[in-house]
Chains A and B, each alone.
Chain A
Amino acid sequence: MLPNDPLANVLYVDLSKKRSWVERREDLFGKYFGGAGVAIQLLTENCPAGIDPLAPEAPVVLATGPLDGLFPLGSKTVAMFKSPHTGNLGESHAGGRSAVAIRMSGVGAIVITGANTNPGYLSIEGGKAYFHDATTLWGMSSSVTAGRIIRQNESSSGLRSIMRIGRAGENLVTYADVSTETYRHFGRLGMGAVFGSKKLKAVVVSGNRTLEVADKVAYRALYDEINTAAVSSPIMKKYHDLGTAENIQPLSALGGLPTRNVQAGRFESAEAISGEHYAEHYLGRRLACSHCPVACIHIAALREPYQDEAYYYKTTMISYDYEPIYALGSMLGLSNPEQVLSLMDEVEVLGLDAMSSGVCLAWATEAMEKGLVTEQDTGGLKLEFGKADGYVAGVEAITSKSNEFWSILSRGVDAAAARYGGADFAMAFGGNEMPGYHTGPAGYLGFMLGARHSHLDNAGYAIDQKELTKGLIPAEQLAQKLMDEERWRQVLSSLTVCFFARGIYTPELTLRALAAAGYNLTAEQLAETADDIYRAKFTFKLANGFDFDKLTIPQRVFETPAVVSGFDEAYMRRAIAFAAGQLASPRA
């Protein structure tokens, strides 16, 4: 790295003592770049094994990387914490303006420990943390309003990011999210509850500065090369035009769109909730993360009449993406695009992870159909596939933990199935509710083997669609492919580059971009660092009780025809055993 790059500054914040200080950590940033690579080290240093994820001592780490602020699509912040949802590694990525704001504030990473006595929010600027009271914002019905008030309170607009929780985080729902700039989320694995346990409503980061590069002329030339590749790439155009929602219809046609709790892989109303339909009828604005020429964020304008007065309307701006449409649309059998938008808005306002919420409600609906859960359990609420009203009431009941049933469901679908039964259709993997891909063995193994049990760890769904449709490959070989992809992604998420740009940031280009930031490495050294980061995550996971042998597979996976079928549990177990052999022991 370049000498004096502010990237190596780590801001430590102790909420209990209302103290903050900066430490230079060139040892970490020099070796692991930033993002995931540095975050896993900071997490390991600050999070003793066995600690309660909601204890005050439990840390939240936010880390950016050397390419943030330098090159297009360097736009992600990696958050790490101990997940209250799985009790293990919590890792979540978000864009918005968070990464650039943190970098511009003069630090590369932030480590927050301790807890506020009264609700508060933090503002971070110039390497210092300022502690503010947030009592008035705590319990506020809409997290969007809370964000607006903080925005008005804080002066410097523009180079600023606001990360905040909603009521779900305050109430410690284990799949509460933290949202940034309203429309991007640290969605998965419950960072919102960790904020909630610290009585931390929001973190505001702001600043502005220049950053040095190794060679000004070479920097500008490389910038142009990357920028041209980004604006002319067909994948980028696809994400700009329809956004990730473009995938709804094609996946449904292939039988890979989870529908009604994965009782089907094709949704008869896919067209009505497709990217095409939303773009044509509702798209109101496109937004971009800082430094992104693509602008994949699609915002729908939903105009709804008031019931009590004629010609009186409200217009809500609601961001939509593939994953929330799947989780709160097809997974719940909802075919009315406006009802799906309203439910997404509800989930946004409460501050819940959309995927976990949808999967929990889908399980609950099927459990009611099968008589495992009754209206007595749900406090009179009837959940039925295709009926939106019950789901709007359901997400509120989860957030307020309105009775025993809803408070168990607020801990996830595995917790609920352990109490009420129905594990065979509780669609979670490694404790995390599934993303929207019923594509086949690579997709499901990907969820299980990925360090954060996310489809983005290794993109198994793409292996199903591109390769396994031609025929299954040996389980060991499939596990190896998934691990190789996940290993390389450690580099991207340490730089920290958006995964949508993975086609542009090839290893060769990555080495040159790193050189501009003062890192001179060979391809072999880069591969070795990737492996170190990947293994460090599993070292943390294993130390905190992760066990490959204890991964459970809901039978539904094998019952409903997927894009790729014809695999069984024995095949999956062989792949898992192979991965365990590779990852549970130190590098040979």
Chain B
Amino acid sequence: MRLSVIDAERCTGCQICMFACTRRLGYAGMGKTAIHIKSVGGMERGLSVVVCRACQDPPCAKVCPEDALVLRKGGGVLLNPSKCTGCGLCREACIVSAIFWDKEAEKPIICMHCGYCAKYCPHGVLALEERREEVSNAAK
């Protein structure tokens, strides 16, 4: 399972997903969010959802010198904060810029594909889904 962006055209820019991702840890505000909403040249021209794509062979994990990024079943990575030194190399390796920075902890923030944000998106933009490959494998 992984978090998927079903249709970014339906996104209203409410940022409720960003609050949800932070609230999952018991905080208000947006300081821990692993998902961001960016406007494409002004909100009226549309919005894009920036979040981890759950790579099967994650470049971010490969560059981590401390082995702090553990491969996650279903794609993507899980951060082991006790190993992470906050060097920031993973951030540069992620070509979709889906690794954000926790300024309070000086550590990367990476989506763990829990689906909490999707439960709150009021407009059906996000969903926790099986990957297509997983679905087709299961059918075999």
Contacts and interface: CB of A to CB of B under 8 A. Distances in A.
A548 B95 CA distance: 64
A295 B26 contact: no
Which of A219, A285, A299 has the largest count of B CB atoms less than 10 A from its CB?
Answer: A285
Given A209-B104, A292-B14, A287 B27 contact: no
Contact of A220 (B26, B30, B38, B42): B26
A299 B44 contact: yes
Interface in A55-74: 69-70, 72
Contact of A157 (B25, B26, B38): B38
Interface stretch (B16-24, B55-63, B82-90, B126-134): B16-24
Contact of B28 (A69, A148, A295): A69
A183 interface: yes
Interface in B43-98: 43-46
Contact of B46 (A181, A208, A285): A285
A382 interface: no
A182 B44 contact: yes
A231 interface: yes
Interface string B1-42: 000000000001111100100110111111110001111011
A575 interface: no
Interface stretch (A167-175, A210-218, A358-366, A408-416): A210-218
Contact of A288 (B12, B30, B31, B46): B12
- Which secondary structure characterizes the binding site on chain B? loop
Q: Number of contact residues on A: which range applies? A: 35 or more
B19 A288 contact: no
A317 B45 contact: yes
Contacts of A216: 26-27
Nearest to B24: A220
A89 interface: no
A339 B104 CA distance: 51
Contact of B29 (A209, A284, A287): A209
Contacts of A292: 14, 16
B22 A210 contact: yes
Contacts of A223: 23
Interface residues of B, number: 31
B16 to A, nearest CB: 6
Interface in A68-119: 69-70, 72, 97, 100, 103-104
A299 B47 CA distance: 14
A299 B42 CA distance: 13
Interface string A210-245: 111100110110010001000100000000000000
Nearest to B50: A158
Contacts of A211: 27-29, 31
Contacts of B28: 69-70, 210-213, 219
Nearest to B43: A287
B15 A100 contact: yes
A104 B29 contact: yes
A293 interface: yes
Contacts of B12: 286-288, 295, 297
B103 interface: yes
Contacts of A148: 41-42
A108 to B, nearest CB: 13
A159 B30 contact: yes
A219 B16 contact: no
A5 to B, nearest CB: 10
Nearest to A516: B28
A291 interface: yes
A227 B16 CA distance: 10
A95 to B, nearest CB: 11
A571 to B, nearest CB: 44
Contact of B30 (A208, A217, A284, A285): A208
Given A209-B104, A219-B28, A293-B122, A317 B44 contact: yes
Contacts of A284: 44
A482 interface: no
B34 to A, nearest CB: 13
Contacts of B38: 157-158
A289 interface: yes
A151 B41 CA distance: 9
B41 A290 contact: no
Given A158-B36, A231-B122, A182 B42 contact: yes
Contacts of B15: 97, 100, 290-291
Contacts of B37: 158
Contacts of B44: 182-183, 284-285, 287, 299, 317, 319
A285 B47 CA distance: 11
Given A69-B29, A208-B30, A295-B123, 17 more contacts: A70-B28, A97-B15, A104-B30, A144-B42, A147-B42, A157-B39, A158-B37, A182-B43, A183-B43, A208-B31, A212-B27, A220-B23, A220-B26, A231-B122, A287-B44, A293-B16, A317-B45
In the A-B complex, list the 8 residue pairs whose CB atoms are closest, starting with the nearest.
A216-B26, A210-B31, A288-B14, A317-B44, A210-B27, A295-B12, A293-B122, A288-B12
29 contacts: A69-B19, A69-B29, A70-B28, A104-B31, A147-B42, A158-B38, A182-B43, A208-B31, A209-B103, A209-B104, A210-B22, A210-B31, A210-B32, A210-B104, A217-B26, A219-B28, A220-B26, A285-B44, A287-B44, A288-B12, A288-B13, A290-B14, A291-B16, A292-B16, A293-B122, A294-B122, A295-B14, A299-B44, A319-B44
